[in-house]
A and B are shown apart, each in its own frame.
Chain A
Amino acid sequence: MFAYYLNLALRSLKRNKVLTALMVLAIALGIGASITMLTVLHNLAGNPLPGKSSVLFHPQVDPRPMNLAGASIAPPDNLTYIDAVNLYHLKAAPKRVLTSANWLPARLDQPGSPLDMTTTRATTADFFSMFDVPFTYGSAWSQADDNDHAQVVVLSRDLNDKLFGGTNSVGKELVIATKVFRVIGVIGPWNPQPHFFDLGQGAFGPARQMFIPFFTWLDLPQDYGYGPMHCWGNNPSAGMHNPKVADCTWAQFWVELDTSAQVSAYREALVHYSQQQKQLGRFTRAPNVRLRNLVDWLDYKHVIPVVVRMQTWIAFGVFLICMVNVVGLLVAKFLRKSGEIGVRRALGASRRAVFMQCLIEAGVVGVAGGLIGLPLAWCGLWMVHQQPVSFAASTHLDVTMLVAAIVLAIVATLIAGLWPAWRAARVAPAMQVKSL
């Protein structure tokens, strides 16, 4: 029966090519626009580290004073220097990473090599294994290097290409903020988006050019900013030149917890730590801790740019208009077939059969619209790629979105076809046959 209806649908669609083409085009344009924006949304809201996102956690504690005007209930996103160091030494998590970012003047350790401001991530050793960073040459530094404040540096592939022409630079030396650093490793391509581990520096965009041990970085003679700093109290710029002051948060901290037992134990450890700090008089609030995993953290931080959310709504507005258009054209189309439907009804076809036949016809239009909409979505994404926005590079069409486009086209057209098909099925056989 399905094959027969399909055949009828194709014949009917062929009979009025203009009307059919208009419907297909309307669906295709609607699908093109909405799939373009859905893809951008899908890519931006994607999981930056699918293999590990469930075991990476972002601890927060609340060191703020009791009656801070305008303070929210949520604890600060980042840690103060003291809490960062204390939590870093808390053994309840097997792997933990302390990180921040800025830029530093750097050059090759050769006379005449020009100084350049180079984007830097300061971090502890576990960063590379926790966040699945691949190495092309050499390796990460060790925890001993962290403890010794070793002057070692890991380069990004781009910086290694720029400074050393892409060759193995392990053992070579750089002058960073007037101190000599030895290259210990060069990473491969690695730039998970959004930059979940440090959203304060912009959630999307290029990766940092070099990585240096966190405590070594703090020792450097420098004043180039210490990441997104939030201070309270009378001196809003207290931490600008001294990141170790007590009332400024700026350090990002992540832990890896492999089992749910570890997670609850760590949460308790955070509460215990807060209580301890309160007894010491450092904290004044009741323990106010959070321990979100990577996905929940991104959710909480609303990383999707406003522009993208707005354009997605607009694209769906366009899709809705396209579908209203299709409903109108389908009504017209089925109404034109009234005579034919009358004859079928008179010859014994049930309302249900007529309804199904019309719906299948609508479905065929939907499939065609979806197939033509895909290249349009591809063009749309090409347009997005040309945009000078930080998230442009991370958008691409994948299989999920291809399937979604076709499914969306068919489902939307079937829904659009419901009412016209129902109307067509109500055609009274006698009236139509008489007028023939």
Chain B
Amino acid sequence: MKMLMQVRPIVAALRSHKAAVTLLVLEIALTMAVLANLFFIVRGTMERAHTPTGIAESQIGVIQSIGVIGKNVKESTGANLAALQAVPGVQSAAFGAPPLWNAGRVPVFRIAARQHKTLAAYNSLGSQGLSQTLGLHIVAGHDFVDSHLPTIMQIFGAGKGHPTIPALVTRSLAHKLYGDADPLGKMFYTGSLNLRVIGVIDHLRGNITGRATDDDSFVVEGLVGSQDFGGGYMIRVKDSARLPQVLRAAAAALQKASPGHVQAKMFTFSDYRADYFSSALATSHMLVAIMLILLIVTALGVGGLASFWVQQRRRHIGMRRALGATRGNILRYFQIENLLIVTAGIVLGAIVAYVLNLALMQHFELPRLPPDYLVTGAVALWILGQLAVLGPAMRASHVSPVVATRAV
């Protein structure tokens, strides 16, 4: 009630500064709108950069081995895998690609007729040992058994035959395919394969885009032997601290086993991941810099105008002091004034933020802004406004009552 008593004269006083107050409200509204949207973008990137793929990331190294065509050297992927497995420190090895590496989705069907595309999922395809090497967590059912696997040529060459092969699915994909029913033993279909679910894994994100569909993945293994493939070889080491050394040793072993191949790239998964997100993170850092600039400029604007008002009203302040107002009263006057202006700016800013978000959604495929970002923006601006006004308000509270008796 006492608060309300104080508010009325402040509002009345603000009416005589319509222009400056309007500009301040406008500035705060624009800052709020831009700030909330930038914070939303930055937060999304940070979240993506820290979302796990579901594989044993710190233990995995990849060697891209490309076969030189036209060379008459007989090499075999099976022998390459044996050579990699023999390297000390290697826990398991497989032919195949890790998540994030050229990730693409394939259409998945619920019924064998394959007429209605139900959804798309990431397909992790590789040799025997793939699921062991990726270090997937099986939460129901069991892992692949080598004696039940098809050969990789059956998978690659599957055209009209539609062979039925075992598969692991993520919990997320299982839920989308079968709802709450037990997925074990159930079937699903891709364009060329019939797949039987033998196990469910907790997470395997083929790509990290931030969408819920990232975790829709399935894994298939095919036996490799005498064929000669170029592509990715993955190793998983026992001790992640020794991964760089073991990876170098593995690359040397692979080169020895297949001298006709070129090792185009070699990387630990952690490095690949860091590289994958580096440009998005760099953009985020730029945006954070812009957010800081905005906060500084707005604080300067608020502080500058407040300091001007204090100077302009020195005589009035002196009078109020002479009439018995305490320093606290004067201090609070400016603080409440600031609170009112900033609040008006926040209310307008919330609307502008949504409009801006709609524009961003249309042009840059951004998701909808959740309301809690507006709350964060509001709190930030309230604090900023109070900090900016503190100096001028303190100065105002120190105006001596004697000022009232002097000419300005």
Instruction: Return the contact of A317 from the options B34, B283, B303, B308 (Cβ within 8 A).
Output: B34
Is the beta-carbon distance between A331 and B30 smaller than 8 angstroms? no
Is the beta-carbon distance between A116 and B282 smaller than 8 angstroms? no
Q: Name 21 A/B residue pairs within 8 A (Cβ), A-sorted.
A: A19-B308, A29-B296, A103-B264, A115-B262, A117-B264, A221-B70, A224-B66, A224-B69, A311-B287, A321-B298, A322-B297, A324-B27, A328-B23, A328-B27, A328-B305, A331-B19, A333-B308, A383-B289, A384-B286, A387-B286, A388-B278
Is the beta-carbon distance between A318 and B71 smaller than 8 angstroms? no
Residue of A whose beta carbon sits closest to that of B26 = A324
Is the beta-carbon distance between A325 and B262 smaller than 8 angstroms? no
- Interface residues of chain A, those whose CB is within 8 Å of chain B, are 18-19, 22-23, 25-26, 29-30, 32-33, 103, 105, 115-117, 177-178, 220-224, 306-307, 309-311, 314-315, 317-318, 320-322, 324-325, 327-329, 331-333, 335-336, 380, 383-384, 386-389, 423
Q: How many angstroms between the C-alpha atoms of A105 and B68 in the bound complex? A: 7
Is the beta-carbon distance between A329 and B311 smaller than 8 angstroms? no
In the complex, chain A residues whose CB is within 8 Å of the CB of B71: 178
Is the beta-carbon distance between B262 and A105 smaller than 8 angstroms? yes
Instruction: Return the contact of B70 from the options A177, A329, A335 (Cβ within 8 A).
Output: A177
Is the beta-carbon distance between A18 and B282 smaller than 8 angstroms? no
Q: How many angstroms between the C-alpha atoms of A344 and B293 in the bound complex? A: 39
| Interface of chain A, main secondary structure | helix
Is the beta-carbon distance between A328 and B282 smaller than 8 angstroms? no
Is the beta-carbon distance between A178 and B283 smaller than 8 angstroms? no
Q: Which of A19, A311, A318 gathers the greatest number of chain B CB atoms within 10 Å? A: A318
Instruction: Return the contact of B279 from the options A178, A322, A380, A387 (Cβ within 8 A).
Output: A387
Is the beta-carbon distance between A328 and B69 smaller than 8 angstroms? no
- Chain B, 251-289, CB within 8 A of any chain A CB: 262, 264, 275, 278-279, 282-283, 285-287, 289
In the complex, chain A residues whose CB is within 8 Å of the CB of B290: 33, 314-315, 318
Q: How many angstroms between the C-alpha atoms of A388 and B278 in the bound complex? A: 6
Instruction: Return the contact of A423 from the options B19, B262, B285, B304 (Cβ within 8 A).
Output: B19
Given A18-B304, A325-B297, residue A388 in contact with residue B66 (CB < 8 A) = no
Is the beta-carbon distance between A221 and B34 smaller than 8 angstroms? no
Residue of B whose beta carbon sits closest to that of A306 = B364
The 8 A CB mask of B352-390 against A (1 = contact, 0 = none) is 000000001001100000000000000000000000000
- Chain B, 222-264, CB within 8 A of any chain A CB: 262, 264
B34 to chain A, nearest CB (A): 5
Q: How many angstroms between the C-alpha atoms of A317 and B71 in the bound complex? A: 59
For the complex with contacts A22-B301, A223-B69, 5 further pairs of A-B residues with Cβ separation under 8 Å are A22-B300, A33-B293, A306-B364, A324-B26, A335-B312
Is the beta-carbon distance between A178 and B68 smaller than 8 angstroms? yes
B24 within 8 A of A: yes
- Chain B, 146-174, CB within 8 A of any chain A CB: none
Q: Which of A33, A309, A317, A384 gathers the greatest number of chain B CB atoms within 10 Å? A: A317
Given A117-B262, A177-B69, A386-B282, residue A314 in contact with residue B34 (CB < 8 A) = yes
Q: How many angstroms between the C-alpha atoms of A19 and B308 in the bound complex? A: 8
Residue of B whose beta carbon sits closest to that of A178 = B70
Q: How many angstroms between the C-alpha atoms of A135 and B14 in the bound complex? A: 72
Instruction: Return the contact of B308 from the options A25, A318, A332, A387 (Cβ within 8 A).
Output: A332
B402 within 8 A of A: no
Residue of A whose beta carbon sits closest to that of B72 = A178
In the complex, chain B residues whose CB is within 8 Å of the CB of A178: 68-71
Is the beta-carbon distance between A26 and B297 smaller than 8 angstroms? yes
Is the beta-carbon distance between A318 and B294 smaller than 8 angstroms? yes
Is the beta-carbon distance between A321 and B311 smaller than 8 angstroms? no
A205 to chain B, nearest CB (A): 12
Q: How many angstroms between the C-alpha atoms of A391 and B256 in the bound complex? A: 38
In the complex, chain B residues whose CB is within 8 Å of the CB of A311: 283, 286-287
Is the beta-carbon distance between A327 and B23 smaller than 8 angstroms? yes
Given A177-B69, A306-B364, A311-B286, residue A328 in contact with residue B297 (CB < 8 A) = no
Is the beta-carbon distance between A22 and B364 smaller than 8 angstroms? no
Is the beta-carbon distance between A332 and B304 smaller than 8 angstroms? yes
Given A328-B27, A383-B286, residue A388 in contact with residue B293 (CB < 8 A) = no
Is the beta-carbon distance between A117 and B66 smaller than 8 angstroms? yes
B20 within 8 A of A: yes
Is the beta-carbon distance between A318 and B34 smaller than 8 angstroms? yes
Is the beta-carbon distance between B30 and A314 smaller than 8 angstroms? no
Given A33-B290, A115-B68, A324-B23, residue A329 in contact with residue B262 (CB < 8 A) = no
Residue of A whose beta carbon sits closest to that of B296 = A29
In the complex, chain A residues whose CB is within 8 Å of the CB of B305: 328-329, 332
Residue of B whose beta carbon sits closest to that of A23 = B304
Instruction: Return the contact of A321 from the options B27, B264, B275, B312 (Cβ within 8 A).
Output: B27
B31 within 8 A of A: yes
In the complex, chain B residues whose CB is within 8 Å of the CB of A310: 360, 363-364
B38 within 8 A of A: yes
B307 within 8 A of A: yes
Residue of B whose beta carbon sits closest to that of A325 = B301
In the complex, chain A residues whose CB is within 8 Å of the CB of B308: 19, 329, 332-333, 335-336
B28 to chain A, nearest CB (A): 9
B21 to chain A, nearest CB (A): 9
Is the beta-carbon distance between A29 and B297 smaller than 8 angstroms? yes
Residue of A whose beta carbon sits closest to that of B34 = A317
In the complex, chain A residues whose CB is within 8 Å of the CB of B31: 321
In the complex, chain B residues whose CB is within 8 Å of the CB of A26: 297, 300-301
In the complex, chain B residues whose CB is within 8 Å of the CB of A389: 279, 282-283
B180 to chain A, nearest CB (A): 36
B279 to chain A, nearest CB (A): 5
In the complex, chain B residues whose CB is within 8 Å of the CB of A384: 286
Q: How many angstroms between the C-alpha atoms of A279 and B307 in the bound complex? A: 82
Is the beta-carbon distance between A222 and B69 smaller than 8 angstroms? yes
The 9 closest A-B pairs by CB, nearest first: A221-B70, A325-B301, A328-B23, A387-B282, A332-B308, A117-B264, A178-B70, A22-B304, A388-B278
Residue of A whose beta carbon sits closest to that of B277 = A388
In the complex, chain A residues whose CB is within 8 Å of the CB of B278: 388
In the complex, chain A residues whose CB is within 8 Å of the CB of B286: 311, 383-384, 387
In the complex, chain A residues whose CB is within 8 Å of the CB of B20: 328, 331-332, 335
Residue of A whose beta carbon sits closest to that of B307 = A18
In the complex, chain A residues whose CB is within 8 Å of the CB of B312: 335-336
In the complex, chain B residues whose CB is within 8 Å of the CB of A222: 69-70
In the complex, chain A residues whose CB is within 8 Å of the CB of B68: 105, 115, 177-178
Q: How many angstroms between the C-alpha atoms of A170 and B44 in the bound complex? A: 52
In the complex, chain A residues whose CB is within 8 Å of the CB of B262: 105, 115-117
Is the beta-carbon distance between B279 and A321 smaller than 8 angstroms? no
A157 to chain B, nearest CB (A): 22
Q: Which of A223, A322, A383 gathers the greatest number of chain B CB atoms within 10 Å? A: A322
A241 to chain B, nearest CB (A): 10
A41 to chain B, nearest CB (A): 14
Q: How many angstroms between the C-alpha atoms of A223 and B229 in the bound complex? A: 12
Q: How many angstroms between the C-alpha atoms of A361 and B125 in the bound complex? A: 70
- Chain B, 298-330, CB within 8 A of any chain A CB: 298, 300-301, 303-305, 307-309, 311-312
B230 to chain A, nearest CB (A): 9
Q: How many angstroms between the C-alpha atoms of A19 and B278 in the bound complex? A: 40
A363 to chain B, nearest CB (A): 19
Residue of A whose beta carbon sits closest to that of B265 = A117
In the complex, chain B residues whose CB is within 8 Å of the CB of A309: 363-364
Is the beta-carbon distance between B298 and A325 smaller than 8 angstroms? yes
Q: How many angstroms between the C-alpha atoms of A116 and B24 in the bound complex? A: 62
Given A328-B23, A328-B305, A332-B308, residue A30 in contact with residue B297 (CB < 8 A) = yes
